[in-house]
Each structure stands twice: as C-alpha cells, then as structure tokens.
Structure 1
Amino acid sequence: MGVGKPVKQVGVVVVGSALLVVGVLLLVLPGPGLLLVLAGLIVLASEFPALERYVDPVRDRAMKAAEDSVSSPLRIAGSVTAGLLLIAAGVVWGVVRSLPFGGWSTGSSLILSGLVLLALLGWSYRRVRARRPAPRT
C-alpha cells in the first residue's frame, strides 16, 4: 500500500468535513447552507459509502431551497444584499482590529462566505431560468 491512499483519505475527510461544518453553520447564518452540506456529504461519501444514503434526500432539499432563493425579485435582492453585507463586514473586520475577533482571518472568512453566497445565487438563478420554458414571441 502506497502513501497516496492515506493522504487522499485525509484530504477527503478534511475537505468534506470543512464543507459539512460550514454548511451546517450557514443553515442558521445567511448563506447557502444546504448546498454546502450536500457538497460535504458528496465528498465524504466518496470514501465512506455508508453516507451515500443521505446524499439524495439532502440533494432534493438543497435544490428546492436553491429554487426558492430565486423565486421572486425580493428574495434575489435580499440574497444579493446579504452577500454584499458579508463582503463589507469582512473588509471591516479585516481593517478594524479592535472588533471582537478582528483581523483578516475573520474578515477573509466573511468575504469568502459572501462570495460563495453570490456565486451560488447566480448558479441557482441560471439553473432555474434554464428549466423554464422559453417565452413565445
């Protein structure tokens, strides 16, 4: 047995667990929690087949949540606002060191969360728009 397999397993566990933990945190914070939980489960299921039974139910709920997030202009505006506020808060936390947990470690995680939120919002919008029938002219 080579060194590559244990290194790959550790990498899968670290990446999958990080996605899962951040996803669970984003279930209560603004962000695409279910999509990150799904990503974490898919990564972990590649090494732990017992987790595959959770992938489909989470996928169904995550896709429904993604569709709901772009179901109205008001929801889209709210999600974009939340993403931009996360990015702004990240810059503030990075610059103002006197804030609790001030510094770029906290600031960069907030910025990354905002960028992920905006990227997944764009993905959700394109996915929903692609499924709608084209308007007749």
Structure 2
Amino acid sequence: MSAQSDERDGIAAPAAPHPAAGDTAETERELGSRAPAFIKASKPLHLSWQVGVFAVGLAVVAAGIAMLVLPGPGWLVIFGGMAIWATEFVWAQLVLRWTRRKVAEAAQKALDPEVRRRNIILTVVGLVIIAALVAVYLWRFGLSLPWNVDE
C-alpha cells in the first residue's frame, strides 16, 4: 500500500520524529510521490503524470545504458534516470537510498588507514610488475616506432 492510498482513504500515516537541532544524522525524505498537490488531487491526472515521469526516466536510463558502450558518462546518466523515477516511485526511492548508503560505506572504508595502506601496496606492486614486463619486452624486441618501421 502506498502513502498516496493512505491519504485518499483518510488514514493518516504516523509522522516521523524530527531530529534535534544539533543532530547530525542524515534525515531521509518521506517516501511517495513528489508531484504537486493539484496533480495528486486528480487520479487520472496523477496517473498520466506517473506515466510521463516513467517515460522520461526510461529514456534517460536507456541513454545511460547506451553510454556504457558508447562515449559518455553512462553510470552517471543511469543514476540520473533513477533520480527522475524516484520523484514519483517508491521502489526507485528505495534503490537510491540503498545506493547512497553503499557509496557512503565504500567511501568510509576507502578512508580507513589500513585499507589505504593495502591499496597503495597493491598499486606499487602492480606498477613494478608492469614495469618489469615492459622492460623485458623492450630488451627482447626493442623499441620500434611506427614511423620507423621498414616495410
């Protein structure tokens, strides 16, 4: 059951407690449609609004999927399409909340000194291996520039 149907049935959803002024915890937005009140008031108008939001979001997500193989910021555009859907659909709001939470966790984990030290060590080891492979290749085959190749 959605928040909209609760409002239409006359059942008030319990209000979320407001955080204290000094509370630094991130407050989550209320789930449900963010359409203007005059659109929510008419069921046919609200349904057509939802269809329009879905179509625009689908077009943006499809463009993002195309950009995964074509030049362009594919994932950024896909998340933009999800944000468009999240203005109207609860499932998209929940997906974005989950994604935001996972990104914040990954950022915190990346800032952990032990993880940073491990990543630096792995990067240095990888660069040393690549440098050794390049050195072996150059020693074995030499450097032949494209404009100096004899045909």
TM-score, structure 1 length as denominator?
0.38
TM-score, structure 2 length as denominator?
0.35
Q: Whose radius of gyration is greater, 1 or 2?
A: 2
